[in-house]
Amino acid sequence: MGYKHEYERSLSDPNGFWGDAATAVEWTTEPTVICDDSAAPLFRWFSDGVLNTCYNAVDRHVEAGRGDQPALHYVSPVTDSARTLTYAQLLDEVSTFAGVLTDLGVAAGDRVVLSMPMVPEAVIAMLACARVGAVHSVVFGGFAAHELAARIDDAEPKVILSASCGIEPNRVVAYKPLLDDALSQATHSPDACVILQRPQLHAEMGDKDHDWQELVARAVPVGCTDVAATDPLYILYTSGTTGKPKGIVRDNGGHAVALAWSMANVYDIGPGDTWWAASDVGWVVGHSYIVYAPLIVGATSIIYEGKPVGTPDAAAFWRVIADYGVKGLFTAPTAIRAIRKEDPEGALIAEHDTSSLKALFLAGERLDPDTYQWATRVLGVPVVDNWWQTETGWPIAANPRGLEPLPLKEGSPSVPVPGYDVRVLDGQGQEVPANTEGSIVIRLPLPPGTLPTLWHADQRYLDGYLSAFPGYYTTGDGGYVDDDGYLYVLGRTDDVINVAGHRLSTGVIEAAIATHPAVAECAVIGVHDAMKGQSPRAFVVLKSGADVEPEELSKQVVATVRQLVGPVAAMKEVVVVPGLPKTRSGKILRKTMRGIADGREEPVPSTIEDVRVLEDITPFLTG
Ligand code: COA
Ligand code: AMP
């Protein structure tokens, strides 16, 4: 059955389509209700089903005789080490760590926050949470203590799991002081912290801290706890327009079904295949495609601690593909641009046997045609863009390689994936004709695996996603559909930016800059960056009488953003300007500023004053 047939069936008969897809998952109680619309526009999938996600990802493969197959290859060029866990070993480690959690009083529904580097223990801990029905919330290590504190206060974890350090190519990042700092800023206090001591740095332990290995040595393995399909598996915080991060909720049942379907039909990966998502467990790509999806389908997943270049060199990715026989690689376009910069002709690829690689999947930011062409030429395999977001957890638009490989078109992530009724609307909510730009929305219900709501914030979900166009989910991206039904995603329509595939809120960065005593007001926009896709540029208006040299101010602002948001914000450019263009009601014209910076929009100032301000800052906007 081809793409068109499956796509149409998914929309005309969602219960039949997803009911069939649900047979790929082991249920304790099979669902009889597929799409539950009783609380529409909040939808639930498989609402009377009961299962355990960890059982589906680990136990069932061992029971089916795949215990000796590698489940996880840990590859860490930054520590010069590697380790493989078979499914049987993974089961052993996960069930023992589930015992650790149980000993600490963690039960179904309790939250557990993880702040972990890219080590197997991070995957083991996530699966152990799933095993006992606890809700994990992984926080990316590149965020500052302040951001970690905000997430701790929202998720209110019973236990926090962390490590003594993470390893960046240029430094060892001490995690424990960052966690202590976050806890001193947070209102919520967990019962316990469990710290993985790594040989590169020893962490000082406090009263509530427990040594990871000591607890593991004492623990007794525990089995899987049944949970409702609609119970939360995890919360993953992501950036929104405002400063407060949004807790994206993922359920158990819809998630397992959707990820299993996507592995087979989008990525063409099945039992025994080796699959590598070169992302971080702190991002949604890491949750879905390092941890859950490959394990749910019985594939072998790689967890990679390092960067694509530098440690040891720009051949790092090709070496891993050759050493482990990787069939599918998934990363962000930025990683490919970083490799290209070091190895413009792809000469290092020829030095490695990459013949196992059947496709390169790219997501997380727009795939520019130049990078697409280069990767296609040097790798000689299909380069497959796929568009999605933390909220959806799996692709909205992709080229379904397993279902029916369709022609690839540069600049487009191809076609809407079954389950997603994608439309492009104008400002009045009317559908626009082909090749016309508008807001990309998805007609409700969203398919299984997508967010049912925000953590403890139904109203925020309704206001932020479902109210702009009633009956539709607003993606926050703009774009168009061409005559062949291919989607083109052009960028965010809000104040979210994407730096090296990392999603950031300009509002959060602005709030950090505003704490500087010399700053009267500021605006941050994302500007084009040849390597990272976008980078933040701050426009700062000084308080009258502020006595600070622009260069010194710039240094201080960069340091403030690093301290309050984190190194991941990659803030480097600070421009002092005489004023910021505003609407009559005083709102900064960020959209106009973004438009000028992108060269896509003529200034539409609201007053004569704004014309002057825009003329003054335009050279800085256009770089
Ligand atoms: N813990 C602590 N610090 C971190 C971190 C982590 N987990 N991740 C990143 N940082 C730091 C970096 O060390 C860097 O700090 P610096 O300013 O002191 O050098 C800063 O945050 C910015 O990081 P990054 O934007 O990643 O830049 P980079 O120059 O270190 O690396 C790339 C650039 C392109 C190699 C890297 O961004 C990359 O591999 N990107 C792929 C993107 C990706 O995986 N996206 C996920 C979605 S698929
Ligand atoms: P995140 O939630 O971190 O995955 O970021 C999601 C956002 O990244 C989307 O809303 C898009 O703006 C952008 N994005 C992700 N993948 C793509 C893609 N393939 N093409 C264009 N933009 C993308």
Ligand 1 within 6 A of 285 CB? yes
What is the predicted pLDDT for the residue at 598? 77
The CA 567 to ligand 1 mean position distance, Å, reads: 8
pLDDT of 221 above 80 = yes
The CA 333 to ligand 2 mean position distance, Å, reads: 11
The rounded Cα 113 to chain-centroid distance in angstroms is 16
Q: From atom 3 of ligand 1, which residue's Cα is the shortest distance away?
A: 142
The CA 496 to ligand 1 mean position distance, Å, reads: 18
- What's the average model confidence in pLDDT over 187-212? 98
What is the predicted pLDDT for the residue at 592? 84
pLDDT of 614 above 80 = no
Instruction: Count CB neighbours of 470 within 10 A.
Output: 9
What is the predicted pLDDT for the residue at 547? 87
Predicted confidence band of residue 35 (pLDDT cuts 50, 70, 90): very high
Q: Long-range CB contacts (< 8 A, 24+ apart) of 241-245?
A: 241/494, 241/495, 241/496, 241/505, 241/507, 242/505, 242/507, 243/505, 243/507, 243/508, 243/511, 244/150, 244/154, 245/147, 245/150, 245/151, 245/154, 245/505, 245/508
Predicted confidence band of residue 622 (pLDDT cuts 50, 70, 90): confident
* Ligand that lies nearest to the alpha carbon of residue 330, given by its number in the listed order: 1
For the chain, which residues make up each domain, given as ranges?
A: 3-38+52-306+386-443, 501-622
> Do the beta carbons of residue 537 and residue 527 sit within 8 Å?
yes
Report the distance separating Cα 391 and Cα 449, nearest Å.
Answer: 9
Q: From atom 1 of ligand 2, which residue's Cα is the shortest distance away?
A: 389
pLDDT tens for each residue of 333-385: 999 999 999 999 999 999 999 999 999 999 999 999 999 999 999 999 999 99
- What's the average model confidence in pLDDT over 67-79? 97
What is the predicted pLDDT for the residue at 536? 95
Atom in ligand 1 nearest the alpha carbon of residue 570: 22
* Ligand that lies nearest to the alpha carbon of residue 383, given by its number in the listed order: 2
Report the distance separating Cα 21 and Cα 18, nearest Å.
Answer: 5
Task: Give the rounded percent of residues in the chain with a pLDDT score beyond 70.
Answer: 99
What is the predicted pLDDT for the residue at 617? 81
The yes or no reply on domain 501-622 and CATH 1.10.238.10 is: no
Q: From atom 16 of ligand 2, which residue's Cα is the shortest distance away?
A: 364
pLDDT of 623 above 70 = no
The CA 307 to ligand 2 mean position distance, Å, reads: 20
Atom in ligand 1 nearest the alpha carbon of residue 567: 21
- What's the average model confidence in pLDDT over 32-59? 98
* Ligand that lies nearest to the alpha carbon of residue 399, given by its number in the listed order: 2
Q: From atom 15 of ligand 2, which residue's Cα is the shortest distance away?
A: 364
What's the whole-number average pLDDT of the chain? 95
pLDDT tens for each residue of 3-33: 999 999 999 999 999 999 999 999 999 999 9
- What's the average model confidence in pLDDT over 443-452? 98
What is the predicted pLDDT for the residue at 383? 98
pLDDT tens for each residue of 556-591: 999 999 999 999 999 988 999 988 988 878 888 888
Instruction: Count CB neighbours of 602 within 10 A.
Output: 7
The CA 585 to ligand 2 mean position distance, Å, reads: 31
Report the distance separating Cα 441 and Cα 458, nearest Å.
Answer: 19
The burial class, CB within 10 Å (0-12 / 13-18 / 19+), for 517 is: exposed
pLDDT tens for each residue of 81-104: 999 999 999 999 999 999 999 999
Best of 387, 420, 493, 499 to mutate for ligand 2, by most ligand atoms within 8 A of CB? 387
Contacts of 580 (CB under 8 A, 6+ apart): 521, 522, 523, 539, 541, 588, 589, 613, 617
Residue appearing with tokens 């974890």:
157
What is the predicted pLDDT for the residue at 495? 87
What is the predicted pLDDT for the residue at 581? 87
Ligand 1 within 6 A of 334 CB? yes
Query: What burial letters (b/e) apply to 238-262, b meaning 16+ CB within 10 Å?
Result: bbbbeebbbbbbbbbbbbbbbbbbb
Instruction: Identify the three-state secondary structure at position 318.
Output: helix
Which residues' Cβ are closer than 6 Å to ligand 2? 238, 284, 363-367, 385-387, 389-390, 413, 475-477, 489, 492, 498, 503
- What's the average model confidence in pLDDT over 418-433? 97
Predicted confidence band of residue 236 (pLDDT cuts 50, 70, 90): very high
Q: From atom 4 of ligand 2, which residue's Cα is the shortest distance away?
A: 389
> Do the beta carbons of residue 331 and residue 338 sit within 8 Å?
no
Q: Side chain identity at 84, as an amino acid letter?
A: T
Report the distance separating Cα 118 and Cα 73, nearest Å.
Answer: 12
Q: From atom 2 of ligand 1, which residue's Cα is the shortest distance away?
A: 142
Q: From atom 6 of ligand 2, which residue's Cα is the shortest distance away?
A: 389
- Asked, as a colleague might, if the bond just before 536 is cis with ω within 30 of 0, I would say no
The CA 284 to ligand 2 mean position distance, Å, reads: 11
pLDDT of 299 above 90 = yes
The CA 568 to ligand 1 mean position distance, Å, reads: 6
What is the predicted pLDDT for the residue at 74? 98
Best of 489, 502, 505 to mutate for ligand 2, by most ligand atoms within 8 A of CB? 489
Report the distance separating Cα 393 and Cα 387, nearest Å.
Answer: 11
What class does CATH assign to 3-38+52-306+386-443?
alpha beta
What is the predicted pLDDT for the residue at 194? 98
Ligand 1 within 6 A of 307 CB? yes
